[in-house]
Structure formats: C-alpha cells, structure tokens
Amino acid sequence: MTERAMQEPTLLLLTALADAPRHGYALIQEIAAISDGRVKMRTGTLYGALDRLLQQGLIEIAAEEIVDGRARRTYALTDTGRGALATEAERLRAVATEAERRLAAVRPAAGRPSGGTARPAFTFTKARGALA
C-alpha cells in the first residue's frame, strides 16, 4: 500500500528548505512566495509543524544562534526529507499529468461553453433497461 499524500503545510515547508537552510521567519516568507501569497503560515502552526518534521527525521537543526538577544534556529532538509519531497513531487506530477490527459481527451462541443459539463459516455434507457 502506498503512503498517503503529504499535507500542504508539510509539502510547503519541505519545498522551502529544498534549496537552502532557513530560520522560522524566512520559512514563513518563503512559503508565502512559493504559494504566491495564498498561504500565510502562522507562527504557532509553523513551529508545531517544524517539531513534527524534526521528530520524523525529515528536517534537522542546521544552526542555533542568538540574534538581537533572541535564539534563532536554522532548519535544513535531511536526506530522508529530500527523498520524501521527491516522492511527493513525483506523485503530484503523475496526478497532474493524468488530469491534463483526461481534460484534453474531452473537448467541448461546438457551441457549448467550455465550462459546461461533458456528456456521459453512455446512457441508461428505461425502456430497454440496458446501457446504450
């Protein structure tokens, strides 16, 4: 059986760490950029997710420092996290490819708006009691 799909916060966090280690505030900014502003991760959600990902071994603490009197942790993707992200990216790519294939297979009929629903490939006829 395959693993379940990765939740969006996890996907976004791992993606944000894929190219460089980042600290919390930088992760919030990177997630907003990756999602084109659609996702604005709150601090509590971020640190809860980071703790979970640390426990799962998907990320690690790359550095700890004091900046302006406050502790700052920088997080990095582990090899396990990189593999999980690559697997999820491939799963999403396969789903998107299939969706595009199916959308391309059913072209809107002339005169019907493209937002309309496609006709079923078969109909049920009561009189005959069979598929037509």
Q: Please name the residue ranges forming H helices in the chain.
A: 8-17, 24-34, 43-55, 79-105
Indicate the SS3 state at residue 75.
strand
pLDDT at 1 > cutoff 50: no
Angle, helix 43-55 to helix 24-34, in steps of 10 degrees: 100
Tokens (6 digits) for 69: 């009197």
Q: Using one digit for the tens of pLDDT, what is the confidence trace for 48-99?
A: 999 999 999 999 999 999 888 888 899 999 999 999 999 999 999 999 999 9
Q: State how far the Cα of 26 lies from the Cα of 64, in Å rounded to an integer.
A: 15
Judging by DSSP bridges, how do beta strands 22-23 and 70-77 pair with one another?
antiparallel
